[in-house]
Amino acid sequence: MKLYDLKVKDNKDNEVSLKDYKGKVLLIVNTATGCGFTPQYEGLQKMYDKYRDQGFEILDFPCNQFANQASGTDAEIHEFCTLKYNTTFKRFKKVLVNGEDADSLWKYIKNEQPYKKVNGLKNRATMKAVEKISHAKDNDIRWNFTKFLIDREGNVVGRFEPIVEPSDIEKEIEKVL
């Protein structure tokens, strides 16, 4: 199976083939509207504005799997993001990212880009606390705002944990643009 073989649902419940994104650089993110990392929406939008004309897309997948931090409906989540953070990138239907019922896209990208421990004492301590709360293991998503970078050929080339700000991955995005 390849990334472009997968289909997902947008926030209006329409089926979307990931083939539609062939040739684009993607940043796939699991998000939440009531999370300490929610302000990252601002950085994501800035990055989207900066690179979208070069074939960059952000695919936003709300997830309520971590402490009920995305408890609204798909419509409420979309309204929150567009009004509070002026987001214009594509938002999809709320998904599960871990467990047996995880969305097939998330199973695929986690397998392609396994979890790696983060560097830095402060970052390690933050991630350890997150892991304890989330009960994450193996390649599980640790928390909201985990980001996966996909190159133009559909290869998963990077995984960035929630503590990594969008601005901190711009150089990685520029390399694949």
CATH class of residue range 3-176 = alpha beta
Three-state secondary structure of the chain = CCHHHCEEEECCCCEEEHHHHCCCEEEEEEECCCCCCCCHHHHHHHHHHHHHHHCEEEEEEECCCCCCCCCCCHHHHHHHHHHHHCCCCEEECCCCCCCCCCCHHHHHHHHHCCCCCCCCHHHHHHHHHHHHHHCCCCCCCCCCCCEEEECCCCCEEEEECCCCCHHHHHHHHHHHC
Confidence (pLDDT) at 64 = 94
What is the distance between the alpha carbons of residues 98 and 85, in angstroms, rounded to a whole number?
Answer: 27
pLDDT, tens digit, 9 for 90 and up, residues 71-89: 899 999 999 999 999 999 9
Does the annotation count 35 as an active-site position?
A: yes
Q: Active-site residue among 35, 81, 150, 173?
A: 35
Distance CA 9, CA 35 (A): 23
pLDDT digits (tens, 9 = 90+) for 32-55: 999 889 999 999 999 999 999 999
Q: What is the pLDDT of residues 119-175, one digit of tens each?
A: 544 555 555 555 555 555 677 898 899 999 999 999 999 999 898 999 999 999 999
Closest C-alpha to 174, from 158, 161, 87: 158
Q: For residues 14 and 141, is the Cβ–Cβ distance under 8 A?
A: no
With a cut of 80, say whether residue 117 has pLDDT above it: no
User: What pTM does this model have?
Assistant: 0.91
d(CA 61, CA 91): 6
For residue 15, what are the β-bridge partners? 9
pLDDT of residue 73: 94
Lowest model confidence (mean pLDDT) among 22-26, 99-103, 111-115: 111-115
